[in-house]
Structure 1
Amino acid sequence: MAAKRLIPTLNRVLVEKIVAPSKTAAGILLPEKSSKLNSGKVVAVGPGSLDDAGNRIPVALKEGETVLLPEFGGTQVKLGDKEFHLFREEDILGTLHD
């Protein structure tokens, strides 16, 4: 997997955005606006940031978690034919659970 070549630094998180379906099971096309999701799957996390004393503060997120993303922000990264986004841990809005 191409994403494994990029290891985020400090408290950054590499996320692959979840693409919403563009049509229903019956074949009805959905408008682009209704299919926009601000969620993604964590692909890789950095080791964490350092506090004033030099101690490592680990990232609270783990690979494989589904997260809620801000509407804007992050750095777009293209690896191979896939598109990913890098976010700082504090920019991630929360985790989504079933």
Structure 2
Amino acid sequence: MEKTTTLNLRVNPDVKKRAEEVLSQLGMPMSTAIDIYLKQISLTGGIPFAVTLPKAPETINADLMTVEELQAKLQKGYDDVEAGNVQSAAEAFAKFREKH
């Protein structure tokens, strides 16, 4: 099928860059990925995946904690900072990416 329509989109540059890196590993240009996405919308009659908020693990979900549990976690965090048990956000996210 011939492609004759142009889309002009504004997206977050970091999100675009990360998506392009993944698509490059798949050998797929961004335009093909977007075309697939649009085809799936028309085939399924909606967004082709669940659009939901991520759920926090119960061990860190403050909505599921008692006041005492929340205070204990906050105190542990404070104690860790006082003891120098800290890492930068960049280090934390790098470790997270390695695991996932």
Question: What TM-score do you get using the length of structure 2 for normalisation?
Answer: 0.19
More strand per residue: 1 or 2?
1
| Richer in helix (by share) | 2
Q: Which has the higher contact order (CA 8 A, sep 6+)?
A: 1
* TM-score in terms of structure 1 length: 0.19
Larger radius of gyration: 2
